Amino acid sequence: MEVTLDKIDKRYGKTYAVKQLDLKIEKGALHFFLGPSGCGKTTTLRMLAGLEKPSSGRILFNGKDVTSSPAADRGIGMVFQNYALWPHMTVQKNIEYGLKLRKLSQEEIRKRMDEVVGITQLDGYTERLPGQLSGGQQQRVALARALAIRPNVLLLDEPLSNLDARLRLDMRDNISRIHKQTGITTIYVTHDQKEALSMGTAVSVMKQGHMIQTGSPRTLYHHPNSSFIASFIGETNLLSGKVTQASGGTYSVSTAFGEFRTARAVGAHKVGDKVHLSIRHEAVDVDFGRAPFNSEFTLKLRLEHLTYLGESEQFKLKNDSGDFFKSTVFHTPEHNISDGDEITCGVSAEDIVVLPFQEDTDSGT
Amino acid sequence: MTTEEATVDQESSLNRLISNTVGYGTIAATIAILFFFLVLPVAVIISKAFYSEDGLTFEYFRLLFANDLQTSSIWNSILIGIATTVICMLLSIPLSMINTKWEFPGKALLSGLLLVPMVMPPFVGAIGIQRFFARRGSINIFLIENGWIDAPIDWLAEGNKFWAVVLLEVLHLYPIMYLNLSAALANVDPSLEEAAEVMGVPRWRRYLQIVWPLAAPGLFAGSIIVFIWALTDLGTPLLVGFHDSMPVRIFNMVTDANENPVGFALVFVVILLTVCIFLSSKLMFGRTKYDMMAKGHVTSGVQKAGPFRLIMIYSVLVGTVAIALVPHISVFITSISDQWFLTVLPEAYTTKYYELIFETDLPFTGIKNSLLLSLGSTGLDLILGLLVAYVVTRKLVPLSGFLDGLVMIPLALPGIVLAFGYVVTYTDTFLDPLHNPVPLLIIAYAIRRLPFMVRSASAGLQQTSYSLEEASACFGASRFYTLRKIVMPLVAANLIAGGLLCFAYAMLDVSDSLILAMKDQFYPLTKAIYALFLEQGSGEFVASALGMIGMLILTACIVGSSLILGKKMGELFRS
């Protein structure tokens, strides 16, 4: 089912929880709403579910306007953040609830039970009460209950936020697998960018009620449309600077770390404009004297602090005026660099992106 | 969407429409009931107190206050209220502190026994103590036989009746104060006190400056209920024979209310008094509601009592229980006594009065009527209480706060006022109580206990996450299907507990029963007891036996309710 949000506003009194939201969610997608808490992503999901009414705008399911239909008429399945399993009903009763409301035959109910119990690997747990299950099992029951009615759209509200780190990784795979198996259009709300990047077919990043950018995980990572996206998705050095030269889409920008030149830019800028430069931490190479060293632009900086993580090392560097610059190097050679040493690092032009200057964006470093 | 699914959708929207109509219709009916049987009768009383055929008048109030008999009855009732409240408070403070702070053998039993007086309708106690304290009663005979006094003391002389009423009220009402206070003290996070303890603050100072200020709203809430209850209780002064009190005067004026409008003025004074007390409590404590911070690891704060303290605790508790049970014991002895003349205790015992209950008309009819009326009113309370609590906690209608306030009014509205209002509002209508009081009795019982039910159901609903209902809505369930399938099972314990309380209190309702039931055949239990008490011969003994039956029923209900609700029971008796 294709889901369209058309100029959706949601106001509480005078404050906007969601403002002028336009979005098309492809049929069969695993579409993520990603953003910091309070960005309006859960409100948007609840409007899609029919649990909240938009203040204005339209919601379309396959082109049909469902804006004023109650939740019940939308054919959605929803997994709540706290799972909302009915504590007085067994797993089986929880799952059957929606099916009985649809007055399906006993045979059909049994068939669908077997199907979702199988898909969520809950065999042997159907007679238990929710209170007798672990967090991960409860999560799967909530998923099974939502899937049993074969929803047009599956809505997941931070479904993994109550699980421990290990279980969360397992459940990511589980949800991806179930999504592939069923092909149900799924909308997934999270504040965890790793979840969104690793699972999503498309991701919409939201901030303060606005949709900032929608695209595939790769697009968001490599082609952020703003300094907010650049710093929110992955980790980046966001340098403020001034355009000194602009010709044929190539820009020279002077920053606290020297002058950089690149042909990658979002928006058009002219000489004298204030801009942000985004340089990913992992795009900054450190000169260990080994080849190849990437030296299109070289910087000589002092090491403030080194974090050793095994598979990688994070270098927190500082220029003479105290501005920080970070580098993450994977698979480093053995070395005896220590805090206070002078380090040479290099960046290539294709890893530098010029972005419109945004006042409130922190550098993410 | 396939056609099959489309039909399912249509059918489900039709079902939803029907179920919503029924559901919202019930809510509308609830509001109508509250209007016709709570707001309207009070409005009628007020209008009749201020309007005569010539328009607005204060004449009835002038007449009321010019009459010394009337003004003295007002003062007496206020003094009964104050004395009862103060004594209850003095008694409950040590009791609740023992309950929340100390652990000792037999605690559960003694704490339970402390609540027993709640099952004693105070006017039944009045029958019992008359037997004990009469001029030729057990106490005097005991004292004379031992040579401690020469002539019998007139314990129940006119001048002592005031204190007899106060004593009976205290013995009946202190559990309410004690429950309120215990709940408030238990709610004070022990770590707050511990924080002061580690700073070296002495114990008395911790109580004075930390624990009591935080528990004060609970103490005050209990006081309000106790005061109003004592101020407006009809049964006790009536049976003790203390006629110079407001409720008895009102009772005597009901029959000729329309000829003697001073009665309206007097009822209005009662309304005014209760409203003022409630408003003052809101003003004093409405804004000082302290939020306990999120509780981390909660230490119980209960300590084991040492030997010295144990002696103190036992003497306070056992002493209280012993005194509190005197009326019960006296009623019990009266009910089984055969041949009781000028002796401390009866010379012979018999069960014949219990047998008489089932052989004579009046007592048996009383039990039967009360059971049926209470069942009816409890059923009504269950429906109204759950719906109101649901609508209010889920904020389904505009002004739900107003609705919440409305259903809580009966807690402060004396039974005599409501019953009086019903008589004047519905005389000469199809609900005329003279004709058939059953509908009005059921409604009166139900409305007066509705606050317990609403409180009880709200407590359950507040602990139930709203997302459980949203999940059900997502599957296509209507709100009222969800209410039946999801909400009701989850708050069933609260509903049962609230229902038991409503039933118990309806069984022993005094003011509505005495005022509204005017013919023998409709007498509920309490009016039958009253009528028997007034009869010559064995009436007093049968009345006691009947009182015992009532107490047994009430005990069973309250024990059941407190087993289900546990510590939360105290919160039901809050204003």
Question: For residue range A179-231, what is the model confidence (pLDDT) as tens digits?
Answer: 998 899 999 999 998 999 999 999 999 999 999 999 999 999 989 999 999 98
Residues of A in contact with B494 (CB under 8 A): none
Sign of the CA dihedral B223, B225, B226, B231?
Answer: positive
For the beta carbon of residue A167, count every other beta carbon within 10 angstroms. Answer: 16
pLDDT at A329: 92
What is the least distance, in Å, from the CA of A94 to any CA of chain B? 10
Residue B548 lies in a domain: yes
pLDDT at B432: 85
Residue B149 lies in a domain: yes
Residues B166, B101: one domain?
yes
Q: Which amino acid is at B114?
A: L
Residue B134 lies in a domain: yes
pLDDT at A248: 83
pLDDT at A353: 93
- B350, B372, B405 - which closes a domain: B350
Sign of the CA dihedral B112, B118, B124, B126?
Answer: positive
Q: Give how many domains chain B has, as a whole number.
A: 2
* Nearest partner of A32 among A259, A190, A263, judged by Cα: A190
Contact of B247 with B267, CB cutoff 8 Å: no
For the beta carbon of residue B333, count every other beta carbon within 10 angstroms. Answer: 18
Residues of B in contact with A145 (CB under 8 A): 471
For the beta carbon of residue B179, count every other beta carbon within 10 angstroms. Answer: 27
Percent of chain A with pLDDT over 70: 98
pLDDT at A2: 92
pLDDT at B1: 41
Torsion angle (degrees, nearest 10) of CA B92, B570, B166, B249:
160
Residues B566, B544: one domain?
yes
Whole-number mean pLDDT of chain A?
Answer: 90
Burial class of residue A181 in the structure, from the number of CB atoms within 10 Å of its CB (0-12 exposed, 13-18 middle, 19+ buried): exposed
> CB distance A72–B477 less than 8 Å?
yes
pLDDT at B3: 38
Largest distance between two CA atoms of chain B: 100
Q: Report how far residue B245's alpha carbon sits from residue A207's, in angstroms, rounded to the nearest whole number.
A: 69
Contacts of B561 (CB under 8 A, 6+ apart): B496, B497, B498, B500, B501, B504, B569
> If you ran DSSP here, which 8-state letter would residue B569 be given?
G
Residue B52 lies in a domain: no
Residues of A in contact with B479 (CB under 8 A): none
Instruction: Express each pLDDT in A74-133 by its tens digit.
Output: 888 999 988 888 888 899 999 999 888 888 899 999 999 999 998 888 999 999 998 889
Residues B343, B391: one domain?
no
Angle at B346 between CA B344 and CA B348, to 5 degrees: 150
Q: Report how far residue B575's alpha carbon sits from residue B572's, in angstroms, rounded to the nearest whole number.
A: 9
Q: Which residue of B has its CA nearest to A103?
A: B8
Residues B339, B436: one domain?
no
DSSP assignments along B196-233, one per residue:
HHHTT--HHHHIIIIIHHHHHHHHHHHHHHHHHHHHH-
Q: Taking the model in full, what pTM does it have?
A: 0.75
Residues B309, B450: one domain?
no
| Pairs across A and B, CB distance < 8 A | 75
Contact of A64 with B4, CB cutoff 8 Å: no
CATH number of the domain that residue B69 is part of: 1.10.3720.10
Residues B264, B384: one domain?
no
Residues of B in contact with A102 (CB under 8 A): 8, 12, 476
* Nearest partner of B119 among B494, B569, B450, B548, judged by Cα: B548
Contacts of B308 (CB under 8 A, 6+ apart): none
For residues A15-41, one letter each, b for 16 or more C-beta atoms within 10 angstroms of the residue's C-beta and e for the rest, the string is ebbbbebebebeebbbbbbbbeeebbb
Can you list the pairs that B43-51 forms with residues at least 24 positions away whose Cβ atoms lie under 8 Å?
B44/B421, B44/B424, B44/B425, B45/B264, B45/B267, B45/B268, B45/B271, B45/B417, B45/B420, B45/B421, B45/B424, B46/B268, B46/B271, B48/B261, B48/B264, B48/B424, B49/B261, B49/B264, B49/B265, B49/B267, B49/B268, B50/B268
pLDDT at A4: 94
> If you ran DSSP here, which 8-state letter would residue B294 be given?
P
Q: Report how far residue A34's alpha carbon sits from residue A43's, in angstroms, rounded to the nearest whole number.
A: 12
* Nearest partner of A244 among A266, A267, A268, A274, judged by Cα: A274
Strand pairing of A153-157 and B348-349?
Answer: unpaired
Q: Shortest CB distance from B489 goes to which of A75, A88, A145?
A: A88
Q: Where are the domains of chain A?
A: 3-222, 235-356
Q: Which CATH number fits domain A3-222: 3.40.228.10, 3.30.1490.20, 3.40.50.300, 3.40.50.150?
A: 3.40.50.300
- B315, B335, B350 - which closes a domain: B350
* Nearest partner of B228 among B88, B81, B121, judged by Cα: B81
* Nearest partner of A120 among A94, A104, A100, A140, judged by Cα: A140
A363: confidence class by pLDDT, cuts 50, 70, 90: very low
Residues B197, B319: one domain?
yes
Residues of A in contact with B486 (CB under 8 A): 86
Residues B334, B375: one domain?
no
* Cα distance from N-terminal residue to C-terminal residue, chain A: 40
Contacts of A55 (CB under 8 A, 6+ apart): A9, A10, A11
What is the least distance, in Å, from the CA of B558 to any CA of chain A? 26
Which two tokens mark B482?
């969800």
Residue B311 lies in a domain: yes
Q: Shortest CB distance from A84 goes to which of B11, B12, B470?
A: B470
Q: Which amino acid is at A88?
A: H
pLDDT at B132: 80
DSSP assignments along B58-99, one per residue:
-HHHHHHHH-HHHHHHHHHHHHHHHHHHHHHHHHHHHHHHHH
* Nearest partner of B159 among B74, B73, B242, B68, judged by Cα: B242
Residues of A in contact with B478 (CB under 8 A): 72
Q: Shortest CB distance from A71 goes to which of B1, B11, B473?
A: B473
Which two tokens mark B203?
């114990």
Torsion angle (degrees, nearest 10) of CA A156, A158, A161, A167:
30
> CB distance B471–A76 less than 8 Å?
no
Residues of B in contact with A70 (CB under 8 A): 16, 473
Residues of A in contact with B5 (CB under 8 A): 75
- B350, B371, B406 - which closes a domain: B350
Q: Which residue of A has its CA nearest to B10?
A: A73
Q: Shortest CB distance from A101 goes to which of B1, B477, B490?
A: B477
ipTM reported for the complex, 2 dp: 0.75
A311-to-A22, A307, A328, B439 alpha-carbon distances in Å: 41, 11, 10, 81
Q: What residues in chain B have their Cβ under 8 A from chain A's Cβ atoms?
A: 1, 5, 8-9, 11-13, 16, 465, 467-468, 470-478, 481, 485-486, 489-490
Residues of A in contact with B477 (CB under 8 A): 72, 97, 101
Q: What residues in chain A have their Cβ under 8 A from chain B's Cβ atoms?
A: 49-51, 62, 70-73, 75-78, 80-82, 84-88, 97-98, 101-103, 145-146, 149, 152
Contact of B247 with B78, CB cutoff 8 Å: no
Q: Which residue of B has its CA nearest to A1?
A: B1
* Nearest partner of A144 among A183, A107, A205, A96, judged by Cα: A96
> CB distance A72–B485 less than 8 Å?
no
Residues B36, B143: one domain?
no
| Between A32 and B147, the higher pLDDT residue | A32
Residue B47 lies in a domain: no
Question: Which residue segment(s) compose the domain that B197 sits in?
Answer: 58-285+305-350
| Helix B539-565 with B525-534: angle, nearest 10 deg | 150
Residues of A in contact with B464 (CB under 8 A): none
Sequence length of chain B is: 575
Q: Report how far residue B245's alpha carbon sits from residue B234's, in angstroms, rounded to the nearest whole number.
A: 9
> CB distance B474–A72 less than 8 Å?
yes
What is the least distance, in Å, from the CA of A82 to any CA of chain B? 8
For the beta carbon of residue A97, count every other beta carbon within 10 angstroms. Answer: 22
pLDDT at A236: 93
Q: Shortest CB distance from B465 goes to which of A78, A82, A145?
A: A82
Residues B258, B398: one domain?
no
Residues B442, B527: one domain?
yes
> CB distance A78–B465 less than 8 Å?
no
Residue B96 lies in a domain: yes
Which two tokens mark B474?
């997502």
| Helix B3-34 with B400-412: angle, nearest 10 deg | 40
For the beta carbon of residue A257, count every other beta carbon within 10 angstroms. Answer: 21
> If you ran DSSP here, which 8-state letter would residue B304 be given?
E
Residues of A in contact with B465 (CB under 8 A): 82, 84
Residue B230 lies in a domain: yes
Q: Shortest CB distance from B471 goes to which of A73, A84, A102?
A: A84
CATH architecture designation of domain A235-356: Beta Barrel (2.40)
Averaged over successive runs of 10 residues, the pLDDT of chain B (575 residues) comes to 46 73 80 90 87 79 82 91 94 87 82 77 75 80 84 80 89 86 77 71 77 79 85 86 87 73 84 83 62 46 78 89 85 83 79 84 87 94 90 77 80 82 89 88 93 84 86 85 89 83 85 88 89 81 86 78 64 51
| Between A28 and B224, the higher pLDDT residue | A28
Instruction: Express each pLDDT in B155-183 by its tens digit.
Output: 877 778 899 899 889 988 898 888 888 87
Which two tokens mark B523?
């007498």
Residues B409, B514: one domain?
yes
> If you ran DSSP here, which 8-state letter would residue B486 be given?
I
> If you ran DSSP here, which 8-state letter would residue B519 be given?
S
